[in-house]
Amino acid sequence: MKIAIIGGAGQMGEWFSGFFKKAGYDVVISGRRYRKCLEVSKKLGVRAVRKNTEAVEGADIIMVSVLPQYMEDVLKEIAPHIRENQKVIDIASVKAVPVRLMHTYVNNALVLGTHPMFGPSAMKENQNFILTPTNAKERRYASELGKFLKKQGFKVRIMSPDDHDSMIGDVLSLTHFIGLVTADTWKRLGVDKHMKTSSTSFRFLSDFVKSVVDSNPGLYSYLQMEVRDAEKAERIFIESANKWADLVKNKNRKEFSTSMTKLSRYVNEIQSNWK
């Protein structure tokens, strides 16, 4: 089985090159900069080619692994080279627009939107992998791909592109926003002077904050500014921050404790549903 990964020298592209190579696939990668592709090629033992259209030739599966804002350019370029028996999947962190673009440009082959809910440095076991089929053919392929992914240790979830995107505002955009605001607050407070005396919970939070600020600014700004409902989640976060700041300012210990106990119940319940 041969897979072409467009954007194969990017963070996720490199990760998937290694993943498919290990699973026994013949992997070919292309990207904007051939030199970067050659480096990945040497490191992982996959084939690098100069052009996206060259990568597409003879591949069973074409995985588009570029930032969502570049999807349309890539699809326009490769669409005339795609044959009926090939499958085109994307891994963009939003789904409604990329899936619509794949349907617009690829009209002779099967397409499927997917979203691995993890970054390139995360462990693969127990990670969610979302598939967003939109018709019977895509659902059949999602079931086939899902079986393969489950065997590889992923939790496969199937949903519509729209349901996926309304979840992303709450799950990804808000999480990144909290990480960025926390880092900004620490910088203004000058917390560096406390690093040597910090607590376990501070170090735990600082690992999370580091993972956010070290991520791809092009992707993260897209997930703040183009995801429907991101602004709503962030507005509610700010309202909650103000509510808790008022409890503190007014020294309302009773309400503070009651609210904290209720939240503990809520978070434990949602965590047990997830496990």
Binding site for ligand NAP (CB under 6 A): 6-7, 9-13, 30-33, 36, 52, 65-68, 70, 73-74, 91-93, 116, 119-120, 216, 219
Structure tokens at 28: 């070919």
Task: For residue 116, give the nearest of 19, 234, 252, 224 by alpha carbon.
Answer: 19
Beta carbon nearer to ligand NAP, 158 or 243: 158
Q: Which of 128, 123, 129 is nearest to 63 (CA)?
A: 129
d(CA 13, CA 37): 10
| Closest distance of CB 56 from ligand NAP, Å | 11
In whole angstroms, how close is the CB of 133 to ligand NAP at the nearest point?
Answer: 18
The residue (of 21 and 32) whose beta carbon lies closer to ligand NAP is 32
Report the residue closest to ligand NAP, judged by CB: 10
Sheet arrangement for strand 47-48: 47-48, 26-30, 2-6, 61-64, 87-90, 110-116, 128-132, 155-158
Closest CA to 155 of 116, 109, 202: 116
Cβ at position 134, least distance to ligand NAP in Å: 18
> Distance between CA atoms of 177 and 184, rounded to whole angstroms?
11
Of 18 and 120, nearer to ligand NAP (C-beta) is 120
Backbone torsions φ then ψ of 115, nearest 5 degrees: -145, 105
Judge contact between 106 and 84, C-beta under 8 A. Answer: no
Residues 73 and 38: their CA atoms lie apart, in Å, by 22
- Nearest-approach distance from CB 74 to ligand NAP, in angstroms: 5
CB closer to ligand NAP out of 77 and 259: 77
Identify which of residues 13 and 179 has a Cβ nearer to ligand NAP in the complex. Answer: 13
Smallest distance, Å, CB 71 to ligand NAP? 7
* Residue closer to ligand NAP (CB basis): 158 or 247: 158
Q: Least distance (Å) from ligand NAP to the CB of residue 77?
A: 7
Spatial contact of 71 and 101, defined as CB atoms under 8 Å apart: yes
Q: What angle do CA 153, 156, 157 make, to 5 degrees?
A: 160
